[in-house]
Structure 1
Amino acid sequence: MDERDKKYYRRITHHKYERKIPYEKEDGSNWVRKCIYNNGYYPLDEINIKGGSYTYADDKYLVNDCTSNIKSVFRFILYFAIPLFIGGFFLEVPMFEQSLGIVLFYCILFFINIFLLYFSFFYPPFIYIYNRLDGTVSMPRKYGKGSCTMSFDKIKYGTSMSRMGSISLTITLPIWEIMQRDIGGDPETSLSSYVWFMDKNRPLPPGKVFDTYRERDYQRRKAEGFPAPLYESYIPIEEYTPEQTTEANNGKRINIETFEREANSIWYDPKIHADWEEVNYTKGDYDISPLKNEVICYKFADGRIVYCRSTATGNIYQPPTNEKFEKSLMVGGAIKEKIDRPITDKWEERQRDRF
């Protein structure tokens, strides 16, 4: 275990929420869906690290340290509590000659000041740790009671509204002692930042602090065969350099000469399939990245099977719509998923239909 793991690695403590969340809707519509949205991303640069809440970032960990912010809150309250306590000793009548209620009030105020003073300077680390490679998030508990760790895909993110009417992102902890905690920022943009980083099958997100680790992260994904992204995206995401993009696309190719297929199947032939139309495939309803250099299997109702590969821009030929057929995405000679969504080369219309 290297130094960064010794410092930031946490084992999973929760696989599910301890109790049902009171304000959770049956259809889950009150949660913000994990996705990389169109409206942007907060780039992480040196200013965020040195002057903001983030204390560490590399190709595995993103550490959001809120300890100083918590201490500042306690100090702010302390500035009002101490004068109130000291002011009692400047009364003309000694404190202990007052009523029992006043004496009790000052005793309670004394212990409150001790509590505030201690946490103003010695509050335990209040840190969120996002583990990109293991797919976990460690969240702090109240008053330094340790932390809880859960898989990122199981954590629920919601929204909260301030008195001024602004909406911000919140994270819901699996423990009961505090169910929801404000993160801040525009919900979709803030969550995009975390989703992009936590999707270990995509390139590292924008930000100068990640530039040192981009090559190492790219080589890791290359060794794994450039697996499919874990989360959807509204925006197309390419590799850091054009050369890496080309290599990544080629790394996912299925070799036509060695591709195992049915004996009665054939590859697309423009002479045989002259009536096929050229369309454009995307990775999903919310991921508009072109489906580049992938093999699609068309199975017809009469038993015919035709394979076709998409181009480097995602274009591919498809049978006429008056024929009955099923479409399946192939990976390594096996069916990955059936494609039942409409395919079109009119990208602008797909965007308008979604909003």
Structure 2
Amino acid sequence: MLRIPTKHTSQRQPRLAYECAVGELFGRAPIYDTIFSCVSPRTLVRIGRSCRTAYAASKDFSHRAYNIHRHLSRFLSEPLNFRSLQARTGTLIAGSNALQFLDRTFYPDSDMDLYVHPGHVREVLDYLVDKEGYKFRPDSTQPKDYREIVSDEWDGTQIRDESLDDDELLLYYQIRGVESVLSIERRGRDGLLKIQLIVCETSPFDAIINFHSTCVMNFIAFDAAYSLYPVGTFEKRETLSVWRARPLHDLTVEIKYGERGFAWISTLPAGTSPQNSPFYPFTDRTVGDRYTWKLPLDTRGVALRSQMNPSSSVFQCDPVIYNGWALERVQYGMGTVYKTIKSSVFRYNYTTTNYKLNFKLWLFAIEQGFLSRILLENNLLEKESWPWYVDTIVA
């Protein structure tokens, strides 16, 4: 029997046709995988907000596209154990490796850079050598055995720079905050694999925020991946130079990232404001703020850090979230500025643009550090029970 459409059914036809088309597009993984693989992270999120079917499809795609264990498996045979090591040590994966993960791309000849807090370098190196089969490859200035230059003893009770002066120096490799670089290698399925351990003078974040440009200011912690300039990096495909002391004729970095699809910007034009720039200049920033892209990672099976001693508070997440900075005009362009918080009452060092907070923490560190040191010198406190404060920091 032929059914003649009524006015009511004719009004529903466009919507039914739309739902049918959406079901065809986002109801089959091979189809929506092809679509999503060609869009930026922001577009992926926006498509997912269009309807329930698209949301489910985008979630399924993201779960597979941002599979951290698959990403790490190129360099590590036990990614979950390595992430537990990250949780214990606050080690961050940064550089082009983190960029590849967030950009869902692959650079065949790239290595993996690990940024390590002071006091954890030996533990990280021993794990990669003993558990993952890597071998130390010293440069011309380093001994053959890394144990000669990386001690397994670190005294966190020693006085650090607890003054108000932030007299940072440009150290090795023309990157502020980098003390040394240790290279390890092993043979993998795809050839030679190389990991570089960046021994940080103060903290991993202090070194990362002084990278050559914004497109590599991304990092992977044990619990989340972060991009500090996601719009400029993944939407505009631009990278803003952050000034550092390197020869003007050295165009290696510009060429390399130009070949990877990023337009190099030397500086921001006069009159640029935070509202009209994807680099948010002249703005106090913190890790995880509304300008940051934070991609939570599945932490099931990751062994979280235990309480360091009965007097210490517990790390609930990676301490990188307690850092802050700003992008300002410096000598020859744009640069990152901040004050460094360094004290033996904190297990790690931090950065902030909040001068009032910096002053209050300085006073707290002086008083608490003095008290703890008096107790230590009079044998009323053991080094193993030295109180370290964690959640006191609010960048």
TM-score norm. by structure 2 comes to 0.20
State which structure, 1 or 2, has the greater radius of gyration over its C-alpha atoms: 1
Name whichever structure is richer in helix by fraction: 2
